[in-house]
Structure 1
Amino acid sequence: MKKNNINKLATSDPTRRDFLGRVILAGGVGSASTLLPVTTVAAQQSCPLTGSVAWTQPDNNNHVIALQEQDAGGDGSVLLEYFGHCAFKLTSPQGVTMMFDPWRNDPSGAWGLWFPNDFPKSKVDIGLSTHAHFDHDAIDRLDAVMLLDRMVGEYRFADISITGIADKHACSAPGWYQWTNAIKEFGADPCPPNNPGHMDMSMYVVETGGLRILMWGDNRHNPSPHVLRQLGNIDVLTLPVDGSQHILSYEQGNEIVAMLNPKIIIPTHYLCEGVSITLTTLESADTWIKSQKNHNMLSSGEILLHKNEVAAMNQEFMYFGANTKVPVA
């Protein structure tokens, strides 16, 4: 069959049209890029989505058992490692390891290529995802003893406490790329209360080493007063602000910083050389960072955070830039 006839069939056939609609509504539109041809999307129907991969993991839970037998608490530094985009590995003073929001490309192919390489296979105790968009939910790439996918509520283990707080994804694109229009074009409302499920969010407050660290994910800039009360005092805040202002605008990011008054602010969801590429439509966070009074251009993909040092800081913007822990291909 000729290519133009295939395209015609894919767009005229109701089943294929419905499939494309479901791809748009569920395939990671919060991080949308250029659509691939409909024929590419239709071809993906024959490729089943991956289920649980835990049975393929080569390692076991010996480390978690050892942690379980120790007394909780203790003092020490928290290690924060950046894996590009919104992915962070956090290691508690006692040695509990957590990976947040590992990224992947959209499995449907509808939103184009964002990451030229797979997320590195990573051994951690706990894997976490803030929401069901492709650039945040590659939990199959984690050799994790536990997975907390979009968790709401409280989880405690060893010297960590994680609180998941339910809210909503940013639903109005403040930048030049109006990715929210894709949701509207298929008859759905990206904004609450009638948003589709992939626009739901779980923010995570991690307490360890005497610090409170907030993984903001792609949350909206104006959560309810009830949500803000649950967030409480924050020492370290991650925020999705980039030059294209894809999720949050500069002004929205500044408003959140002023509202929460964290000691440290770390930008996420920006174009990161060596991890993401131009098709993301993202830009670097350089302009936003350099506009801040206190900013630190980090020279590596990791930082050690101790509560005494952090306590002396005042809205210090720390920027990893292109420095990540992702192995060089």
Structure 2
Amino acid sequence: MFERRTITKLVSLLVISLLVISVMGPSPSVHADVGDDELIVEVIPRGDAYAVAARHNLQVLSYLNDNGHRMYLMRNLSSQPIMQVMDQVKRDSDVGQVELNESTTVAEADGPGGRSVGNIDGGCGTGTADQGAITRIRAPDAWSISTGAGVIVAVIDTGIDLSAGLNIVPGYDFIDRDSNPSDVPGGQASGHGTAVASLILSVAPDAQIMPIRAFDQNGYSAAFQLAEAIDYARWHGASVINMSFSFSQEVNLVSNFINYAYGQGITLVAAAGNDGSGQARFPALESEVLSIAAVDSRDIKADFS
């Protein structure tokens, strides 16, 4: 009898093996507006977040409980450069840690004129895996052990087309701040989350998808929203968390919530990176995360991976 954690790891490995073949490609440059001029500020227990914000001409946007640490997302309202403001905030006696709300993109957010999300499956536009890919990752052999029944895969992405007939459980939208994680059409990355979810179900047909929209329709997000997404997944029954994004450096807040999810027995998978350096990027470089590189149709590591 296989333990549940073994089965979820098996399912996640199969899922990512297929995503490596079918989805990942070079990522575009980060959009300047997402997370721009924003700080993640820890306010100590005796401090008042709104008083801190007022002292430094910041606007409080959101709050996240980081295992007892009070973390606030704040926007710079002054004309000063964000790095200068961050230095000032760090010296505030009511403040603990401070870091930038780093921006990132979902893989394949190149849209029209590039390798569009409609073609990530090799051209059929449905987001489902072709039989060749299924055979190459030996999914039929794995199905004798598990088809994903009882496994909930949280897909942190651009949302999902809720009319596509996929096997889903309730999720959340951290872009529009509501309980409707629907994909928004018309953007460079529209349909990406739906395609990824479809690929997952091609490999693990009895798994359930938890759609978490943390990227906008053009494929952009930032660290605070992604930490919130991971936190949501871990408290709402996710067995596996799929993270098709990477950062150029470690982000403390995201790292913390990855650790909490892993400690609850959740399997986390992430793209190794798309810069061709041969080195895993954050969060894939974390020891708690399965780091996934990309291969081409000959099972050779892709140049960009």
Q: Same fold (TM over 0.5)?
A: no
Q: What TM-score do the two structures reach when normalised by structure 2?
A: 0.32
Q: What TM-score do the two structures reach when normalised by structure 1?
A: 0.30
